[in-house]
A and B are shown apart, each in its own frame.
Chain A
C-alpha cells in the first residue's frame, strides 16, 4: 500500500460511497419487491389489466368509473367527516391530557400505565368492545335500564351502526388520545419548562401562557401526530366494517366491497379506491414529516 496517494487523500472511493446503499440493499429489495411489486400490480389492475376476467387492455375508464360513481362521493365525504372530526376531538383531549400529565410530572404511575393501555389494544378489539358497550342491547343500555335511567333497553340512543358514526368515532378517540397525547407531552418536555417559567416570571396569565408559549411549542408535534391519526383513520377498515352503516359506508369498506364483488369487472374500481386511499395516506405522512422537521428545528422533537 503506497503512502501519500492512498484512498484517504483522494476522498472516498466509489465503492465506499456505495457502502451504505449496499448495506440496506437486502431490506430495500425485499420491501421494494413485495410492497412495491404489489403496489405496481395493483396499479395495473386499477388500469384494467385483469387477464383472469378477460380484461387485457389498459385504460383509465375504471378509475374514471370509480370517481364518477355517486357512491364514491358519498363514501369520500363520510370518510373525511369521520376522520377530521375524530382527529380534531382526539387532538383537543390529547392536549389537555398532555398538559395534565406534565403537571403530574411522573408522580402518578397509575396514570402513566392507564394511558398506555389504549396504545396496546388493537383497533379491532376496541371496535368489538365498543359494540358490546354501546349497542342498544349492550352493557351500558342494560345498566341504564336496570338503574331506571332509561325506560327500557330500546330507549337507549343509537350509537352503533348509526348515521353519525358515533360508535366509530368513539373507538378512534379512545385509541388516539394517548397516542397524540404522548407525542405532545414529549414536545412539552423537550421544549423545556424554562419558557413557561419565564412566562410565569413575566406575569403571563395561564391562558396567555397556553396560547402564546405552550401552543406554538407543541404546534408542530401536534400537527404531525394529528396527520398520522387522520391518515390512519381515513384508511382503516375493520372499525367501519363492524360499527358502520351498510350504506353510505366509508371509503375502505367501499373499496373492499368492490374488490370482493362477484362481478370481476368491479375489482379494478375497488383497487382504484384503494390507491386513492393510499395516495391520501402518503400525502399526510409527507406533511407530517415536514412538521416533524419543523419541530426538530424548534428543539421540541422527541
Chain B
C-alpha cells in the first residue's frame, strides 16, 4: 500500500516539474527569432541571462583573465552571468552540436559561446552549426580591420560574420642569449643549426597544435612560401610539397632531441626542456609568453624571442555562437564587450594574459592608443612592427589536417 503512495507522489512531482519546465520555456522560445535584432533589444534581453562559454581550458592566464576580469565586468555592466566551461578540445563541443542538430535539438542548448578557430570553425560552418551572421552587428566591430586576410578568413575559410574576432596569435621562437648569442635568421639557417647541434632541438608531436605549426613552417619553407597556398589548391602540387616536407623532417629527426625517437607531447613539456637546458629553442603561438615566463620565474631573464626572416605563421582566434544556444543575446553582449578597448587592453597586458588585440589600434581614440602603446611589453617580446611585418597566413585547414596525419605516418612511424 505504501509503495503505491510513493509512486503516486513521485509521479505527481515529475509531472509538476515537466509542466512547470514547459511553461518556463515558452516565453524564451517566442523571443528567439532568426534575424539579429537591434542592439538595444539585445542588451535588454541579455540582462539576467546566464551565458555558458565553452573554451580551451589549458591556458591559466586566459582562465584568470576570463574568471577574474570578464565575469565580474559583464555582471556589473550588463547583468549577464558568465560561466566559463573549460574543455580540452573545442572539437568535442562541435561533435556534440552535430549530435544535437541531428537529434533535432534546435533551441535552449547549454553552450552559448565558443572560443574557436581553424578546422573546428570550418566543420561548424559547413554543418550549419553556428548562429548568425552576427559579428558585424556588434557595436565594437567597427574597431576591427575586417579587410585583414587573417580576419576575413579563418584558416582559409571565409568568416562571413559567423564568428567575432577576439585576439591574435603569432609564432615566435624562444632562445637563451646565454647559450645561443646569435640565433638563426631564417628557417634554412635553423635547419643547419639543428644539424650542427644534434640533440638540442625538438618540437611537440603533431597533432598537437604548436607542434603542427612547426611542420607548417617547414611546409612553407620547402614549397616556396605561404602565398601560393591561399586559394584553390592543386592536388599534385600539394602532394609534391608534402613529400618534400616529410622527407626533410625525416632526415632531420636523427639530429633532434633523443634522436627523434620521441617527442614532447605538449608545448609545456617543450618549454620545460628548454628551461631545464636540455634543448636550446622553444616556440609558442604567444609573442608575450617568453616575457610572461621570465616574469613568473620559469625562464632565465636572458631569454629572448625571434621570428624567421621569411615570416612566422599567425592567426586570429574568434568567438562563435551555436545555432541552438539558449542565451544568444547574452553571448552577443559578452562577445561585444570582449572587443571593447577596455577588455582588449586588459587582455594585452602581460600581467593579466598578454594575448594580442584583435582590434586595430589605429581606429581607437588617441587616448586609448597611448594606453596600448604604454603597455609593458616585457623585454623578450618583439615590437608590433617587426611582428606584423613578418606575418604569414595559416594554410587552409585541409592542408593542416593532411600535414598532421602525414607527419604521424611518414615522419613518426617512418612508413
Contacts and interface: CB of A to CB of B under 8 A. Distances in A.
B258 A52 contact: no
Interface in A158-174: 158, 161-163
A51 B102 contact: yes
Interface stretch (A29-37, A111-119, A257-265, A289-297): A257-265
A209 interface: no
A214 B325 CA distance: 66
B261 A245 contact: yes
A79 B207 CA distance: 23
Interface in A41-56: 51-53
Contacts of B262: 161-162, 245-247
A261 B258 CA distance: 25
A71 interface: yes
Given A137-B276, A137-B278, A241-B265, A52 B98 contact: yes
B405 A263 contact: yes
B277 A137 contact: yes
Which of A52, A136, A161, A260 has the largest number of chain B CB atoms within 10 A? A52
B327 interface: no
Nearest to B277: A137
Interface in B365-415: 401, 404-405, 412-413
Contacts of B278: 136-137
Contacts of A245: 261-262
Contacts of A161: 258, 262
Interface residues of B, number: 23
A262 B265 CA distance: 17
Interface string B94-126: 010011001000000000000000010000000
Contacts of B207: 261-262
B395 to A, nearest CB: 15
Contacts of B258: 158, 161
Which of A53, A241, A261 has the largest number of chain B CB atoms within 10 A? A261
Interface in A275-294: none
Contacts of A261: 207
Contacts of B205: 246
A161 B264 CA distance: 9
Nearest to A244: B262
B263 interface: yes
Contacts of B404: 262
B192 interface: no
- For the complex, would chain A's binding face be called helix, strand, loop or mixed by DSSP majority? loop
B252 interface: no
Contact of B263 (A51, A158, A246): A246
A247 B412 contact: yes
Nearest to B199: A154
Interface residues of A, number: 22
B412 A246 contact: yes
Interface string B275-293: 0111000000000000000
B119 A52 contact: no
Interface in B248-304: 258, 261-263, 265, 273, 276-278
B239 interface: no
A241 B264 CA distance: 10
A87 B406 CA distance: 37
A53 B127 CA distance: 11
A51 B405 contact: no
B360 interface: no
A163 B405 contact: no
B91 interface: yes
B261 A51 contact: no
Nearest to B95: A52
B413 A71 contact: yes
Contacts of B413: 71, 247
B185 interface: no
Contacts of A263: 401, 405
Nearest to B404: A262
A129 B124 CA distance: 40
Contacts of A135: 276
A260 B89 contact: yes
Interface string A228-263: 000000000000011001110000000000001111
A51 B104 CA distance: 13
A153 B258 CA distance: 14
A158 B258 CA distance: 9
A245 B261 CA distance: 7
Interface in B131-160: none
B265 A246 contact: yes
Interface string A55-68: 00000000000000
Instruction: State the 7 A-B residue pairs at the shortest beta-carbon distance, nearest first.
Output: A137-B276, A52-B98, A245-B262, A161-B262, A52-B99, A246-B205, A246-B262
Given A137-B277, A153-B277, 16 more contacts: A51-B102, A52-B98, A52-B99, A52-B102, A71-B413, A137-B278, A158-B258, A161-B258, A162-B262, A241-B265, A246-B205, A246-B263, A246-B265, A261-B207, A262-B91, A264-B95
18 contacts: A51-B99, A52-B98, A52-B99, A135-B276, A136-B278, A137-B276, A137-B277, A137-B278, A153-B277, A161-B262, A246-B261, A247-B262, A261-B207, A262-B91, A262-B207, A262-B401, A263-B401, A263-B405
